[in-house]
A = this chain, B = another copy of it.
Amino acid sequence: MLQFAIRFAVLEDTLPSRSAKIPPSLKKRAAQIQVVLMDVDGTITDGSVTLLSQPDGSALEMKTFDAHDGQGMTLGRTAGLRLGVITGRESAALRRRMQEMGVEFVYEKQPHKIAAFEQVLVKAGVSATAVAFLGDDLPDIPVMKLAGLAVAVGNAAQEVKDIAHYTTKANGGKGAARELIELILKSKGVWDKLIDKARA
């Protein structure tokens, strides 16, 4: 069987390359960020909502996170960023992963996200210009409009992309959080120093 490959392609890496230039206006916004808030489903997961049927008729919820995102969060923490999530759902899976990653602000069961966002401002003692929000769908729009850096995942709803300062190349749950944190740390000029501090 004949199978061969010719590719003439402008192909991008999954993770942004070290040499990529960050536009000045974006860099300015990103350099001011001290707190990174994120939606959960579709943002730090790929949007899968997986339920396991139990013999008693109930169902347990699973969540799938991404190891590259996790490494990004760990590096962000090392660099002094404070992290948080605001979600409409709740699960033990989320809480365990957030604890592993040092995610400080965990707001579950929030049909509207504004109240939690404002509480984080108070707790962290920062203004909204120091907060980035990463989202994928319509309920994220109100807080994204308040955030100093509003970022949409690569496969976000069009309405979310329309109001974002930046859309990641990576899709939700597939490196979008890593890409955002790299963007912030590179804009602050501290990324290269952090590479050697990475831990498994």
Whether B93 lies near A59 (C-beta < 8 A) is yes
Instruction: Tally A residues with Cβ within 8 Å of B.
Output: 79
In the bound complex, what is the Cα–Cα distance between A64 and B42 (angstroms)?
A: 13
**Copy number in this complex?**
4
Residue from A50, A92, A137, A157 whose CB has the most chain B CB atoms within 10 Å:
A157
Please report whether the interface of chain A is mostly helix, strand, loop or mixed according to DSSP: loop
Whether B18 lies near A97 (C-beta < 8 A) is no
Q: Which residues of A contact B (CB under 8 A)?
A: 1-18, 39, 41-42, 45, 47-55, 57-68, 70-71, 75, 86-89, 91-93, 95-97, 110-113, 136-141, 155, 157-159, 161-162, 166-167, 169, 195, 198-200
Other contacts beyond A53-B61, A59-B96: 4, CB < 8 A = A2-B2, A47-B66, A111-B200, A139-B198
